[in-house]
Amino acid sequence: MPIKKKKTSRVDWFKKNIVIVPVVAAIIAGTYTGIRTVVKLTDTITTSQQEIVNLQRDLKVLGDQLSENKARLSRAEATWDMAENLYRTLADQVREHSYDIKDLNR
């Protein structure tokens, strides 16, 4: 006569495998947490890369504006120097004319 195995219930299965159930649950939870963390880090990296690209573009624009402002400042300094030279020349000419007028009045 064949021996019939008694069908084990779920409660009996849990009793036999009491150590395995928490280990499997911990592995599943750890895997989920790890995947979620990797996804968040990937999103953060993507966002940071876009911000870096934007900052580099802004830096280039500001560098171009700085170069333009330097050129304008150089032109303004040259104009100022020219105005000072013209003022000196004009002052010298006025002084010479005042001497000439004094000589004519004598």
Q: pTM value?
A: 0.51
Average pLDDT over residues 82-94: 94
Which residues touch 8 (CB under 8 Å, ≥6 apart)? 16
* Residue found under tokens 């000589």: 103
Please give the pLDDT value at position 12: 80
Q: How confident is the model at residue 7 (pLDDT cuts 50, 70, 90)?
A: low
* Contact yes or no for 21/14 (Cβ under 8 A): yes
- Would you say residue 95 lies in a domain? yes
Which residues touch 93 (CB under 8 Å, ≥6 apart)? none
Q: Which residue has the higher pLDDT, 105 or 35?
A: 35
17-53 pLDDT, tens digit per residue, is 787 878 888 999 999 999 999 999 999 999 999 999 9
- Would you say residue 55 lies in a domain? yes
- Three-class secondary structure of residue 91 per DSSP: helix
Average pLDDT over residues 75-102: 92
- Would you say residue 22 lies in a domain? yes
- Would you say residue 30 lies in a domain? yes
- Would you say residue 4 lies in a domain? no
70-85 pLDDT, tens digit per residue, is 999 999 999 999 999 9
- Torsions phi, psi of 7, nearest 5? -70, 130
- Would you say residue 53 lies in a domain? yes
Please give the pLDDT value at position 67: 94
- Would you say residue 72 lies in a domain? yes
Domain holding 17, by residue range, is 10-105
Which residues touch 16 (CB under 8 Å, ≥6 apart)? 8
